[in-house]
Structure 1
Amino acid sequence: MAKVTGKVFDVSLFKRLLFYTNPYKLTLYFVAIAAILLSVFAIARPILLKITVDDYILTKDKHGLLIYVLFMLGFLILEVIFQFLFVFYANWLGQSIIKDIRQKLFNHMLNFKMAYYDKSSVGRLVTRAVSDIETIASIFSQGLFVIIADLLKMLVVMGVMLWMSWKLSLIVFAILPLIIYATRVFQKAMKSAFEEVRAQISNLNSFVQERVTGMKIVQLFSREETEYKNFKSINEKHKQGWLKTVWYNSIFFPIPELANAVAVGLVVWYGGLMAATSDTVDVGEILAFIMMIGMLFRPLRQIADKFNTLQMGMVAAGRVFSILDTESKIEDDGKLSSIDIKGNITFKDVHFSYVEDEEVLHGISFEVKQGQTVAIVGATGAGKSTIINLLNRFYEIDSGTIYIDDINIEEVKLAALRAKIAVVLQDVFMFADTILNNITLENPAITRETVIKAAKQIGVHDFIMSLPNNYDYNVKERGGMLSSGQRQLISFLRAYVTNPRILILDEATSSVDSYSEQLIQNATDTITKGRTSIVIAHRLATIKKADTIIVMDAGNIVEQGSHTELLQIEKGYYRNLYEVQFIQQETA
């Protein structure tokens, strides 16, 4: 999160925000001009009021009175028109800027390493991309330009006051330092308060997102009461954060109103005495001063209020820019943007660690020939899934080299590399969309006809046609309308339609029923035919059919060979694994 810098206004951060106004310079200039004109139109009313009272009401000039009333009406109409244009285009500018920032942020997040997401809360990232960015818009729509307009209005009002009567002006100005000092203290207090508010909002979003996502676990283990208590605690902190801002507002906002009342009273008292005893002050001036005092003091309160908005937007901007400044992406410096591979894979002395100095792969080396099916087995944490993560370059290796057809994968553009590799995971993620879109992922190169043909080839067409709206069936969030076996079948089809040269199956049949397993096994036989395949599985049938089995333990390859060859190793790791686990499956 952004840190409290102690500054009421972070100029460097604001300059960075202004960079995003470059495509909208004309709108920016118009809003600035409208702010200037609004101050002119506003001050015209008290001046016209003074002239109307002194020159036409007191002299009973009906014709002149009508003319000046029409003048006042005209300036009022102009003020309303420009106020509308000012508000509309200031908001339009704010929304346009955050649209650009949000797009840049999302694109930046799309290219983060998987390691970044391993350590980051989804709820916090969602808060940054949605709530925080929306708050940035208020800098332009409710903060910056409103403050500028109010400051201009105050400067013009002070000039007109001095022009009319310097004595009455000094009475009003004598009260200003009190309000300015109170405003300054208020702004500093609110800066810290809003930091806390944004932090609590982020915590709340993160907590709710995780519990809603994991609601099944919460209910399975009867954690409802515990999680409710935890939520109450976080919600209370969120409330206290907001109450701190309410407390500061409650203290500050009566001060300008009190100052306004005192200033009006003093002007009426002193101006009335001068009007009654001499001709140095006119009645029209007193009325104009009463109107201008409100125009001078009210913006001070509004400026403080809008400064709160500005500060909250700046805090949000700091948090968003902290993500934009995060360098956590795989270097995509490869020069090969298109490759026609056969499917040979070579790992050569590959070392890797998720956490520095905690190596999980200890210099592994192996080869997979074109068209071969290789199974990787081993206990949980042995490094099986890490291998496929490295092949797809989701993580950077510490040392060593990975080749595809004698080409170092670091020499290939990420998009080109991953276009040749398809992965079917155990935990299938599906979007809240139709089955067709979940298969094609809206790739225009993959037509409905292609999908249907592929579905028939791997034996899942009948299953899809049995669903309401078949290929247009909406699976809802995370594919909740389908069973785990059905989601697996969709993931197989998703991989198959991309026509990959290398196929990876990461424990894709470990949690499905026997009927779905048979369908998946048939699908596996179809989609692995003629392709280089890496299979991470516990199912005996898949492993026995593999050309080569790589046995891993604690980040090392301890055995390698065919099913028959590995069973012949006395006291071998694979043989022991087979006897303990696989024989149980055969006799089950």
Structure 2
Amino acid sequence: MIKIVKTLARSIREYKKASILTPTYVTLEVILECIIPLVIAELINNMTGDSMEPIIKYGLILFVMAMASLFCGIMSARKAATASAGFAKNLRQDVFYKIQDFSFADVDKFSTSSLVTRLTTDITNVQNAYQMIIRVAVRTPLMFIFSVAMSFSINVKMALIFVCIVPFLAIVLFGIFFKVHPIFKRIFKKYDALNNSVQENVSAIRVVKSFVREDYETKKFFKASGDVKNDFTHAEKILALNTPTMMLSMFTSILLVCFIGAQIIVNSGATSLTTGELSSLLTYGVQILTSLMMLSFVFVMVSMAAESADRIVEVLETESDLKSPVNGKTEIRDGAIDFDDVSFKYKKTSENYALTNINLHIKTGQTVGIIGGTGDSKTSLIQLIPRLYDTTKGMVRVGGTDVRDYDLVALRDAVSVVLQKNVLFSGTIKDNLRWGNKEATDEQIEEACRLACADEFIQGFPDKYDTYIEQGGSNVSGGQKQRLCIARALLKNPKVLIMDDSTSAVDTKTDALIRSALAKYLPETTKIIIAQRVSSVQDADLILVLDQGKIVEKGTHDELVALGGIYNEVFESQTKSKEE
């Protein structure tokens, strides 16, 4: 727990001042509240005859103290809100920045929905708990200590009544805490499942509607939501024991104070206990028990936040396997690529390798085509080049240097990847294209779009390059999205250009035009094309055929056709289908 607190405390930063001022104001507020009952007791004891002097004198004192206490309360609330909201902002940024450094394997480990839950629900829980800790958790023990001290100064016997209640309450509170903590641990895992259900449904809403599966998705969501509800209900039923336990303790102690106090006053007279002192004892009793009740609320909040804090720290302390080496190389000589006896699996614990014994040597400027069936690890192969994953065995070299020796930013700037899943972000077409080069001029953008055969349809939009792209590129077609992503990759002016089935949604004529433009205008760039259509790779300098993570055939189009293997079968089947 100490380690978790230390890790989270690093996110307080510029809000340390507000975090310190909050308990300072709370302390002053508590001191004033604990002195007020003594002044009231003096007022009651000095009210004799028809004189208004005691009322005016003590009334003014009480008014000034009440105003001062109110001021301290307001300031503590303002500072607590500033500190907690600022802390949550920094913590959210720290987690988000950490995620940006994650490798694909790290993201897979947590899952996208779980990371979203940690950035939202978990951090909100920690924020609320932090506000309670710097304000209520400071006020509660101070109020308890001062009120008990004041009670003992008035009458030891009466003060012992309140002290005897404390062990009973402590046992109940700690029992509740340890009972609900495991439940909240389960709840947050089910929150992940709930968010995952929402994420899948929203991102694939067109598929859901096209297959008329709304009822199925609704039932799946209801189940995930119901699981969260059931666990929360269970936890809340246990936590509901807080209030009746506190109220029972409070009223029992007040009744005992009234009963015993009245007996003392009647039997011993005012010399042992005055009416004002009895009134003060009742007030202190309420303060003592109220502080314990507030402590129970702190326990509830902390018990919820404890698991959230653990989940947040788990992200913050995750060290990505993919790190830039100290003084990593920033100059990439050329686009030559070498795979030296490379094997790869996604998890160290996995038994099977996704890629096995890959030996491959590509000269700079060459065009390489890769074909293979679904699940044959074509994408896994190319993801090792920009070091989106690290090899399990062997070495991948770009420009003659092991990719692990490069600065990651420099390497990925030199290797441009058009991934299988094309993603556009909300913003104009220009905004999206400048992801490839934020300094790109309008002329450079238009040139890249002409190479990617995207300029023609962009010019057809009313706002042309200032056309707004909706989130995920939902207002452009699949083929348009692919061409925009290719243009974006070209703006990086890369040493290596990888196209992972990125022309599957365009017609064969456009596909051919794009490949011809790339060969003409990027002669020095190494081009790797993954495709399902043989026509997309048949002009390549080298064609690889992958089968179950192994290179089973390698050569030019004519060489592979003559070989009569897998490539020839695919070529003949596609040619025959085209003729038919």
> Do both proteins adopt the same fold according to a TM-score greater than 0.5, normalized to the shorter chain?
yes
Letter in structure 1 aligned against 2:341: D
Report if the CA contact (8 A) 1:53-1:283 is conserved.
yes
Q: 1:194 to 1:406 in 2, by over 3 A?
A: closer
Report if the CA contact (8 A) 1:113-1:395 is conserved.
yes
Question: How big is each residue's C-alpha offset from its partner over 1:417-470, in whole Å with a ceiling of 9 and x where there is no partner?
Answer: 111111122320112222222111285322444323433454422322322433
Paired residue secondary structure (2:354): strand
Equivalent residue number for residue 193 of structure 2: 203
In the aligned structure 2, how far is the partner of 1:266 from the partner of 1:442?
77
In the aligned structure 1, how far is the partner of 2:462 from the partner of 2:139?
58
Deviates more, 1:113-122 or 1:133-142: 113-122
Letter in structure 1 aligned against 2:76: F
For residue 52 of structure 1, report the CA deviation from its aligned partner: 1.0
2:42 to 40, 51, 71: 51
Unaligned 5+ runs, structure 1? 1-9
In the aligned structure 1, how far is the partner of 2:334 from the partner of 2:3?
52
Structure 1 residue 307 and structure 2 residue 299: aligned? yes
Equivalent residue number for residue 318 of structure 1: 310
Equivalent residue number for residue 66 of structure 2: 76
2:277 to 265, 280, 285: 285
Paired residue secondary structure (1:358): coil
Question: How big is each residue's C-alpha offset from its partner over 1:334-363, in whole Å with a ceiling of 9 and x where there is no partner?
Answer: 644421433222222222222433123222
Paired residue secondary structure (1:559): strand
For residue 387 of structure 1, report the CA deviation from its aligned partner: 1.8
Letter in structure 1 aligned against 2:365: G
Paired residue secondary structure (1:174): helix
Q: 1:197 to 1:457 in 2, by over 3 A?
A: closer
Q: 1:526 to 1:265 in 2, by over 3 A?
A: farther
In the aligned structure 2, how far is the partner of 1:267 from the partner of 1:113?
65
Paired residue secondary structure (2:469): coil
In the aligned structure 2, how far is the partner of 1:442 from the partner of 1:282?
82
Paired residue secondary structure (1:175): helix
In the aligned structure 1, how far is the partner of 2:100 from the partner of 2:404?
19
Equivalent residue number for residue 444 of structure 1: 438
Equivalent residue number for residue 98 of structure 2: 108
Structure 1 residue 580 and structure 2 residue 573: aligned? yes
Deviates more, 1:454-463 or 1:471-480: 454-463
Q: 1:119 to 1:513 in 2, by over 3 A?
A: farther
Report if the CA contact (8 A) 2:197-2:220 is conserved.
no
For residue 19 of structure 1, report the CA deviation from its aligned partner: 4.3
Structure 1 residue 350 and structure 2 residue 368: aligned? no
In the aligned structure 2, how far is the partner of 1:221 from the partner of 1:382?
28
Deviates more, 1:386-395 or 1:402-411: 402-411
For residue 170 of structure 1, report the CA deviation from its aligned partner: 2.5
Q: 1:477 to 1:332 in 2, by over 3 A?
A: same
Q: 1:123 to 1:58 in 2, by over 3 A?
A: farther
Equivalent residue number for residue 177 of structure 1: 167
Structure 1 residue 264 and structure 2 residue 254: aligned? yes
Report if the CA contact (8 A) 1:191-1:308 is conserved.
no
Letter in structure 2 aligned against 1:301: M
Deviates more, 1:82-91 or 1:525-534: 525-534
2:422 to 425, 428, 445: 428
In the aligned structure 2, how far is the partner of 1:244 from the partner of 1:143?
25
TM-score by length of 2: 0.93
Letter in structure 2 aligned against 1:317: A
Unaligned 5+ runs, structure 2? none
Equivalent residue number for residue 147 of structure 1: 137
Question: How big is each residue's C-alpha offset from its partner over 1:71-128, in whole Å with a ceiling of 9 and x where there is no partner?
Answer: 1111111111111221222222222223232222222212222123334421111001
Report if the CA contact (8 A) 1:496-1:527 is conserved.
no
In the aligned structure 1, how far is the partner of 2:133 from the partner of 2:236?
19
Question: How big is each residue's C-alpha offset from its partner over 1:254-299, in whole Å with a ceiling of 9 and x where there is no partner?
Answer: 2222222222222223323333341211111122122222111111
Question: How big is each residue's C-alpha offset from its partner over 1:306-357, in whole Å with a ceiling of 9 and x where there is no partner?
Answer: 2211222221110111122333331321644421433222222222222433
1:517-532 to 2 correspondences below 5 Å: 517=511, 520=514, 524-525=518-519, 528-532=522-526
Question: How big is each residue's C-alpha offset from its partner over 1:521-563, in whole Å with a ceiling of 9 and x where there is no partner?
Answer: 5655566444211111133433222122122222222222221
In the aligned structure 2, how far is the partner of 1:375 from the partner of 1:288?
88
In the aligned structure 2, how far is the partner of 1:198 from the partner of 1:383?
34
Equivalent residue number for residue 88 of structure 2: 98
Equivalent residue number for residue 505 of structure 1: 499
Paired residue secondary structure (2:353): strand
Structure 1 residue 247 and structure 2 residue 237: aligned? yes
Aligned length: 576
Paired residue secondary structure (1:566): helix
In the aligned structure 2, how far is the partner of 1:22 from the partner of 1:198?
27
Deviates more, 1:461-470 or 1:442-451: 442-451
In the aligned structure 1, how far is the partner of 2:26 from the partner of 2:260?
34
In the aligned structure 2, how far is the partner of 1:500 from the partner of 1:209?
33
1:493 to 474, 487, 491: 487
Report if the CA contact (8 A) 2:396-2:402 is conserved.
yes
Report if the CA contact (8 A) 2:454-2:480 is conserved.
no
For residue 26 of structure 1, report the CA deviation from its aligned partner: 3.1
Paired residue secondary structure (1:354): coil
Structure 1 residue 88 and structure 2 residue 78: aligned? yes
In the aligned structure 1, how far is the partner of 2:436 from the partner of 2:523?
26
Letter in structure 2 aligned against 1:283: T
In the aligned structure 1, how far is the partner of 2:195 from the partner of 2:39?
54
Q: 1:336 to 1:140 in 2, by over 3 A?
A: closer
1:366-381 to 2 correspondences below 5 Å: 366-381=360-375
Question: How big is each residue's C-alpha offset from its partner over 1:567-586, in whole Å with a ceiling of 9 and x where there is no partner?
Answer: 222x333222211224423x
Cα RMSD between the aligned structures?
A: 2.4
Paired residue secondary structure (2:545): strand
Paired residue secondary structure (1:429): coil
In the aligned structure 2, how far is the partner of 1:558 from the partner of 1:25?
62
Question: How big is each residue's C-alpha offset from its partner over 1:140-180, in whole Å with a ceiling of 9 and x where there is no partner?
Answer: 21235311211101100000011112232233333333333
Q: 1:369 to 1:34 in 2, by over 3 A?
A: same
In the aligned structure 1, how far is the partner of 2:258 from the partner of 2:94?
57
In the aligned structure 2, how far is the partner of 1:319 from the partner of 1:211?
25
Q: 1:257 to 1:448 in 2, by over 3 A?
A: farther
Question: How big is each residue's C-alpha offset from its partner over 1:2-29, in whole Å with a ceiling of 9 and x where there is no partner?
Answer: xxxxxxxx44433443344455443333
In the aligned structure 2, how far is the partner of 1:226 from the partner of 1:293?
57
Q: 1:294 to 1:443 in 2, by over 3 A?
A: farther
Structure 1 residue 38 and structure 2 residue 41: aligned? no
Paired residue secondary structure (2:387): coil
Deviates more, 1:260-269 or 1:519-528: 519-528
Report if the CA contact (8 A) 1:187-1:307 is conserved.
yes
In the aligned structure 1, how far is the partner of 2:329 from the partner of 2:433?
24
In the aligned structure 2, how far is the partner of 1:260 from the partner of 1:502?
74
Letter in structure 2 aligned against 1:258: L
Paired residue secondary structure (2:360): strand
In the aligned structure 2, how far is the partner of 1:184 from the partner of 1:59?
52
Paired residue secondary structure (1:371): coil
Structure 1 residue 29 and structure 2 residue 23: aligned? no
Letter in structure 1 aligned against 2:397: Y
In the aligned structure 2, how far is the partner of 1:345 from the partner of 1:34?
65
Report if the CA contact (8 A) 2:239-2:300 is conserved.
no
Q: 1:94 to 1:443 in 2, by over 3 A?
A: farther
Equivalent residue number for residue 455 of structure 2: 461
Paired residue secondary structure (2:537): helix
Q: 1:328 to 1:173 in 2, by over 3 A?
A: same
In the aligned structure 1, how far is the partner of 2:404 from the partner of 2:175?
55
In the aligned structure 2, how far is the partner of 1:492 from the partner of 1:385?
17
